[in-house]
Amino acid sequence: MNVVQLFTIENEIHNCVQGNMSVGSYFTKLKGLWDERDALCTFPTCTCGLVKEVAAYLDTQKTMKFLMGLSDSYVGVRSNTLLQDPLPTINKAYSLVLRHEKQSEVTTRKSLAQPEAVAFAVKNSSHETETEQRCSRCNRTNHNTKDCRAHLRCTFCRWKGHTAEYCRKKKAVTEAEFNMAISKGNQVASHKNKMKGMNFPFTLDECKQILSMLKTKTSSANHVSNCPTHDELSGPTFGKDDWDGN
């Protein structure tokens, strides 16, 4: 007998629990370990009546190990199985636990399906209610008289169904005027900036000299305008005594 291999199998049997496995997978794994152990540790042939008692004892140990390794969700069926007298065999215990698992799956599916059915029914009911709504003012569906906009008329575009506050055409015109005002403002600001950048070409003294020259020219022009008349400038006419001295 390989003691090391037997120790390894016994350790795996001791640590074997259901965990996330199904009842069938857990029982199959545990039964495989038992078969390996029984193959390594066989009983000698015996003709006395004690062999049946030993076999019953070993089967009881398997049943208890199977029940101890179950998950906490099987506490109820485990307690009911342990209360039975005599204790069921391993195959009978597995059958009872497997039946409980199937019943739990059916109950879980029903509990999950019920909220979905309720939600579906509520959705259909809501849809039917919305479909049945009909406005008594315009005789159209999907809205009531309170939300009806058929009587509204826009003062800007004169169309029905909305007011000037929500008019798209008015909004477009307002945005266009606003953009135009911004463009004009930018042009004025640009012109002012150009004017600020220009430098005056004359100093203060040069300006005074130019004003003095303009005054002098103005005075000379006035003097020319006050000259004698044509007769005074041209002298005596032909035939007068002033030319021949007589």
pTM of the prediction? 0.44
User: Which tens digit of pLDDT belongs to each residue from 70-127?
Assistant: 999 899 999 999 999 899 999 999 999 999 999 888 877 766 656 555 555 556 555 5
Question: Taking the alpha carbons of 147, 152, 157, 158 in that order, is the dihedral positive or negative?
Answer: positive
User: Which tens digit of pLDDT belongs to each residue from 36-61?
Assistant: 998 888 766 666 777 788 888 889 99
HSE-CB for 54 with a 13 A CA cutoff: 10
- Residue 246: per-residue pLDDT: 46
- Residue 218: per-residue pLDDT: 64
What separation, in Å, do the N-terminal and C-terminal C-alpha atoms of the chain show? 187
Number of C-beta neighbours around residue 157 at 10 A? 14
CA distances from 142 to 62, 126, 132, 145 (A): 69, 12, 7, 10
Find the DSSP H helices in 133-167.
none
CA distances from 21 to 18, 67, 92, 107, 119 (A): 5, 14, 20, 19, 32
Query: What residue type is assigned to position 164 of the chain?
Result: A
